[in-house]
Amino acid sequence: MKLKTILIGILMLSLSTQGLVAQQTQNLAEKLGYDKDAKLLIIHADDLGLSHGTNSAVISAFNKGGITSGSIMVPCPWFPEIASFAKTNPKADIGIHLTLTSEWENYKFGPVTSADLVPSLQNKQGYFYPTVEAFGAKANPAEVEKELRAQIERAMAFGIHPTHFDNHMGSVMVNPAFYQILLKLGHEYRVPVLAPKDMLLAAAPQFLEQIAKDNVLVDHLFMLNQAPVAGNWLQPYREFVENMQPGLNQIIVHLAYDNDESRAVMIHHDDFGAQWRQNDYDLMTSDKMKRLLSDNNIKLVTWRQIKNVMYPANEQ
Amino acid sequence: MKLKTILIGILMLSLSTQGLVAQQTQNLAEKLGYDKDAKLLIIHADDLGLSHGTNSAVISAFNKGGITSGSIMVPCPWFPEIASFAKTNPKADIGIHLTLTSEWENYKFGPVTSADLVPSLQNKQGYFYPTVEAFGAKANPAEVEKELRAQIERAMAFGIHPTHFDNHMGSVMVNPAFYQILLKLGHEYRVPVLAPKDMLLAAAPQFLEQIAKDNVLVDHLFMLNQAPVAGNWLQPYREFVENMQPGLNQIIVHLAYDNDESRAVMIHHDDFGAQWRQNDYDLMTSDKMKRLLSDNNIKLVTWRQIKNVMYPANEQ
């Protein structure tokens, strides 16, 4: 028995060493079956579950191939609707958009955790803080961890197998301790965490090396932050795509139909408002976007592929 | 000091005895300035705060004089929107629709109280139970009281001065102990509670006399429970109005615009669905409904008027 255990141990060590050697010799693109200079791109919709107008636009965009990936806000009231889509479409590339802020004026949500266990995450009204600054000033790390775990566990209880974790409004970036919690949970649940190289270099350069050692980094992340002038919604995306470098890239989009519900959710928000989200939906599902990607030889990839590289199923 | 206290005591007793005598000699209609045989009617919209499509239809119906009253579901995500309307329209007759169930398929809400303090009110997913039966089988009275208090306190923290309390899906009627809690809270907060004579006679005849002693009863309550045949939405309402008896009557309506959001909230519910709610909205804001009421000499009243009778401001 003992000998057998030792032999299995040696075998596993050998397999794992082989894996390590292979990992060192192949870059991500090669591991995914592409040339090593391939420009890989994830087109990712944020805020799934936020509202019905978001869910229906996102589902349509998945069906039309306009996005490769998306992530779900578990605390939102429309979470069950998108969870049901995720469960009945297990191939859809869906992660968890871990949420610690509630930014809209008339439409609010709060912690999944029992409220008295996470007082530092709530304003006086019992909802999440509306801004990253207010969240950063009040939140305590143990409560952040408790709430992130509760969101992950609820998503899994709804039958979701998340392909990745990311974070609403980048709130965890406000404090390196919060981001470390996210990374820790990623390793614990064997789920990749969005680790944007550009942003980490700016926000936490001291951790970059360590993070890069244990995670697949997104080399370049693009998210529209300002509405393009003269209504040319394609232009900033074209600029990013035409200048894209080899490696792993991600575009974050915000999709929703511009209808009564969306306009009421996003009232007084021109940025990331209802019209903005309709524009993103229209562009991502358009032929001109598809042409832009193929003209520039962009390889669309998913977080599930990254997950399979970081956490191969046979190692589970 | 002691004599002064006794004198104030005697004075208060005397005022209260006078009040009692006046109460015995005038019926509700007379106290509200009508003939004693007047047919009083509250037209009441339920489910305020449920969704944006509900809030906007209800606000429009208030503005058009199609309803006299409404009540708010505090646990719903759109509560802040309707709370803001209530705060900026202090004359609008708005109460609290105390909520202990979450019946829609893809759109969910749960307790306002910290979740671990009210485990008996939540299903495995952490939301309220979808049916009154499941709620009734699991809920414990101390937790029901805790949650009702939390909803009242949150509403008041948002600047709402509720004119009445009622209850979503009649869930508290499942157990006399629950309904007693509601009545107790009404007296404590000096807010009238919907006490429908017909229903109480059927559900808890043993309590009727006691309830009648301490509360203003609604003599006849009408709520559409089945869609009228051949699309004649007016017909059941006309029947109720034409047969209305003197005393206090209430019609409960469910208003929302039949749009994407409403259809998604109410998916798989024909009864009380999106089309149903649009029909109620259309009818309540129509000229034919107004004509029906005036032809039958119906006096529209509000819960605020009942509140002023039950709890005169000078007794507060």
Give the pLDDT confidence of A57-85 residue by residue, as tens digits: 999 999 999 999 999 999 999 999 999 99
Q: What is the pLDDT of residues B271-310, one digit of tens each?
A: 999 999 999 999 999 999 999 999 999 999 999 999 999 9
Query: Cβ contacts (< 8 Å) between B84 and chain A: which residues?
Result: 106
A4: CB partners within 8 A, 6+ apart:
none
Please write the tens of the pLDDT for every residue from B233-260: 999 999 999 999 999 999 999 999 999 9
Report CA-CA distances (Å) from A154 to A113, B118, B127: 10, 18, 11
Q: Pinpoint the alpha helices (H) of A103-225.
A: 132-138, 141-157, 176-189, 197-203, 205-214
d(CA B54, CA B257): 7
| Per-position b or e across B175-199, b if 16+ CB within 10 A of its CB | beebbbbbbebbeebebbbbbbbee
Cβ of B52 within 8 Å of Cβ of A107? The answer is yes
Per-residue pLDDT for B70 more than 70? yes
Distance CA(B4)–CA(B9), nearest Å, equals 8
CATH tag for B28-314 (out of 3.30.70.1230, 2.30.33.40, 3.20.20.370, 3.40.50.720): 3.20.20.370
Name A63's Cβ contacts closer than 8 Å, sequence gap at least 6. none
In the structure, how many helices (H) and strands (E) does chain A have?
Answer: 14, 7
B40: its two tokens: 């009083």
Residue A24 is predicted with a pLDDT of 60
Token pair belonging to B86: 């209530």
The beta strand positions in B181-286, using DSSP E, are: 220-223, 247-253
Surface of B (152-191) touching A: CB under 8 A: 154, 157-158
Judged by a CB distance cut-off of 8 A, whether residue A106 touches chain B is yes
Per-residue pLDDT tens over the stretch A82-137 = 999 999 999 999 999 999 999 999 999 999 999 999 999 999 999 999 999 999 99
> With contacts defined as CB-CB under 8 Å, which chain B residues touch A114?
114-117
CA–CA gap between residue B122 and residue B99 (Å, rounded): 12
Put simply, the answer to whether B117 touches A117 (Cβ < 8 Å) is: no
Residue numbers in B near A124 (CB within 8 A): 157
pLDDT grade, residue B223 (50/70/90)?
A: very high
The pLDDT mean for chain B works out to 91
A12 has a pLDDT exceeding 60: no
Q: pLDDT band at residue A316, thresholds of 50, 70 and 90?
A: very low
Cα separation of A110 and A112, whole Å? 7
- pLDDT number for residue A25: 83
pLDDT in tens, B25-38: 899 999 999 999 99
CA distance B177 to B197: 17
Tell me which of B229 and B161 has the higher pLDDT: B161
Question: What is the distance between the alpha carbons of residues A34 and A300, in angstroms, rounded to a whole number?
Answer: 11
The interface pTM score, or ipTM, of the predicted complex is 0.86
Write down the pLDDT at residue B314: 54
| pTM recorded for the entire structure | 0.89
Q: Residue B252 is encoded by which pair of tokens?
A: 């409960």
| Distance to chain B for A105, nearest Cα, Å | 8
The owner of tokens 């998604």 is: B264
Interface contact B114-A109, CB threshold 8 A? no
pLDDT greater than 60 at residue A256: yes
The answer to whether B114 contacts A116, with C-beta atoms less than 8 Å apart, is yes
Span B98-122, pLDDT tens digits: 999 999 999 999 999 999 999 999 9
Task: Report the C-alpha gap between B59 and B63 in whole angstroms.
Answer: 6
